[in-house]
Amino acid sequence: MNTEVLEKKETKSVKTEKKHLVLFNDNDNTFDHVINLLVKVCKHDAIQAEQCAFLVHHKGKCTVKSGVIEELSIIAEILADNGLTVEIN
């Protein structure tokens, strides 16, 4: 009878905390501008971008993207550079 010894290797799992990119309403940007940016920068389809724009307009804010902080920071900077008010939570 052969006995095989298996070694247990320790692995560290890196837990990445999911963050949310929130877009806030303002009185400066048009619906078209917001929708175009959400399509171009956040990779929304036209319907999703339009729904987010209407939610922002009526509710004051909307989560437009979720993911890791590194990805959201880049997107937030681009949106802010284009006049939108955003925050990562």
pLDDT in tens, 10-69: 655 556 799 999 999 999 999 999 999 999 999 999 999 999 999 999 999 999 999 999
CB atoms within 10 A of CB 77: 12
Buried b / exposed e over 34-72, threshold 16 CB at 10 Å, is bbebbeebbebeeeebbebbebbeeeeebebbeeeeeeb
How do the domains of the chain map onto residue ranges? 19-88
Which residue type, as a one-letter code, is found at position 6? L
pLDDT range class, residue 9, cuts 50, 70, 90: low
Domain 19-88 has CATH 1.10.150.110: no
CB atoms within 10 A of CB 73: 13
What's the confidence (pLDDT) of residue 46?
A: 98
What's the confidence (pLDDT) of residue 16?
A: 75
Rounded Cα distance, 35 and 89, in Å: 22
Q: Is the pLDDT of residue 7 over 70?
A: no
